[in-house]
Structure 1
């Protein structure tokens, strides 16, 4: 059997598994956004290629994706996150999101999304916000650096102007509407003890209620790697069959699970093509 034949068989097996499911738990990491043109920071070189100004400074991803950066260099920190906010606002989700949405709309219990992505692409593609866990938060919301008690608020009124060549925010730094202190993205960063987790906890509670109603759930994990394995661990702990789409790290640990070495768009297209008219 050739590799192509094995791939076809795996996609058909995944389609068969989904055809018997009453609900789909979609777990997703950064890899799902690559086909939409979003950068994937794999190692320092990949990060520095996306943000050469930070490469010149020798800053690593974990140093800029850190609340301390907002205290010591807020214009640079907001240069990075302001650019990302602009990028995510402008990005159009790839066709795989639409195909997945068409698929889950046919299921009795629908779907729930668990993602470490902060880009809001699932919501933009039409997935219900009330059936979403953003375990690392969302760049489309802000929170107060002072911890004044103000709940996170939408970032809709913040229009960052960024000098991308130097990765610096040129416009006014965003501030808390309650206390006037510096605002930061509502994202769980490295070394972050002050992230406001209340919204994520409410999302998690809704997910557990949904899972309790599911009779034949299947997990489809898309683009979730092992470097920060939050998404992988959650899907594996769900206790139901798992389909893993990952071009580099698709190995699975249980015989009932299916690993497919494909990216998001191609993998979703081939699986749903076997199910949808």
Structure 2
């Protein structure tokens, strides 16, 4: 099947669908200008201070970093929090919403991203499952309670040269210990996961009602294959969109070697021609 045939097939699946499962990895945000930390060099281009310290993504996305170097850990996450707050979701998000507005069961999002871009783009809060949590909520590093709270009162100020937070570190309102993002990190035994679990329970309840489900997977790579595996569990009509890693067994669906926004526009154009 050549590229055009894949676009046509994807459009045909979507035309017949009564519900859309959107599964998304870091590549979905790249077209909005967000870094995807692809490899150590990708991280270091975004955060030169970490390059000078020879620190990897695993070193920073690690609960121990908040104990060892709290101002550096919050410099990394604080910069990301501010960036995600400022970022405007790209046109592809609007295209997805336009498709699902016409479907009987609408859409549900399953994402490993912690940036909150789907909610910012207008997807319903109860139709998004963030499998790795969200940077827009904080929790205690202990944690002293199995709870998280909104991060909107925290305004991080980060020195770009040192990569460190220069204003007051956020603290737990219950015990006063250091707070951290409510995100699943590497080697993490303290993540408060109940919020993500509730989201996933809603998704699990939604899927059986959809008779003609189509999965559109956007920018999910093989390095952390959580999203790819979840997509394939809900085949056989998976549309895998990835510029470098679009391979997928025909029993699960088809792959389109393209960036997220570009592929969504091409499929949308094909759908428009068929009206």
TM-score by length of 1: 0.96
Give the Cα separation in 2 of the matches to 1:89 and 1:61: 21
Determine the structure 1 residue equivalent to 2:106. Answer: 110
CA contact (8 A) 2:138 2:180 kept: yes
Residue deviations 1:70-108 (CA, integer Å, cap 9, x gap): 001000000000000000000000001001111111000
CA contact (8 A) 1:28 1:117 kept: yes
Q: What displacement does 1:238 show?
A: 1.7
Give the Cα separation in 2 of the matches to 1:191 and 1:248: 28
1:48 maps to which of 33, 44, 47: 44
Q: What displacement does 1:188 show?
A: 0.5
Task: Indicate yes or no: 2:190 matched with 1:194.
Answer: yes
Residue range with higher mean Cα deviation, 7-16 or 151-160: 7-16
Give the Cα separation in 1 of the matches to 2:267 and 2:3: 11
Determine the structure 2 residue equivalent to 1:126. Answer: 122
Q: Secondary structure at the match of 1:275?
A: helix
Unaligned runs of 5+ in 1: none
Determine the structure 2 residue equivalent to 1:209. Answer: 205
Determine the structure 1 residue equivalent to 2:91. Answer: 95
Determine the structure 1 residue equivalent to 2:254. Answer: 258
Give the Cα separation in 1 of the matches to 2:91 and 2:189: 37
Determine the structure 1 residue equivalent to 2:2. Answer: 6
Unaligned runs of 5+ in 2: none
Give the Cα separation in 2 of the matches to 1:122 and 1:273: 22
TM-score by length of 2: 0.97
Task: Indicate yes or no: 2:147 matched with 1:151.
Answer: yes
Task: Indicate yes or no: 2:273 matched with 1:271.
Answer: no
Residue deviations 1:239-270 (CA, integer Å, cap 9, x gap): 44100000000011124611100001000001
Q: What displacement does 1:164 show?
A: 1.4
CA contact (8 A) 1:119 1:140 kept: yes
Give the Cα separation in 2 of the matches to 1:238 and 1:150: 31
CA contact (8 A) 1:150 1:178 kept: no
Q: What displacement does 1:208 show?
A: 0.8
Q: What is the number of residues matched between the two proteins? A: 273
